[in-house]
Amino acid sequence: MFGIGGGEMFLIVLVALMLFGSDKIPEIARTLGKGMQQLKNATNDIKSEIHKSADIDGIKKSFTEIGNSDTTNEIKNEIDKVKEDIEDMSGPIKRIK
């Protein structure tokens, strides 16, 4: 970026004083300061939302990976076997409606 030296800064202040007058300069500076603060806050909000979204996507990916793992499938198969065994044992005991 471009750096502003002392001479250039003096020239900018001198031109601003001539254009706006000494009574308007503090008001302009405050307005510029508020505008820059609002811009900074908006930028931080956008960064925060991007980070939150990335974190949520990472969590969803982790759950998807866990759901697709071989261990999960093995557990599901074992649960299905136990359900079938229970149904086989309780078959004759079920009430007739």
Residues 24-46 have pLDDT tens digits of: 888 888 998 999 999 999 999 99
User: Low-confidence residues of the chain, pLDDT below 50?
Assistant: none
- Reduced to 3 states, what is the DSSP secondary structure of residue 96? coil
DSSP-assigned letters across all residues of 58-86? HHHHHHHHHHTSHHHHHHHHHHHHHHHHH
Q: Per-domain residue ranges for the chain?
A: 66-90
pLDDT at 31: 92
> Which one-letter amino acid corresponds to residue 13?
V
pTM: 0.45
Q: What's the rounded Cα separation, in Å, for the pair 80 and 94?
A: 20
* Residue-level pLDDT at 69: 63
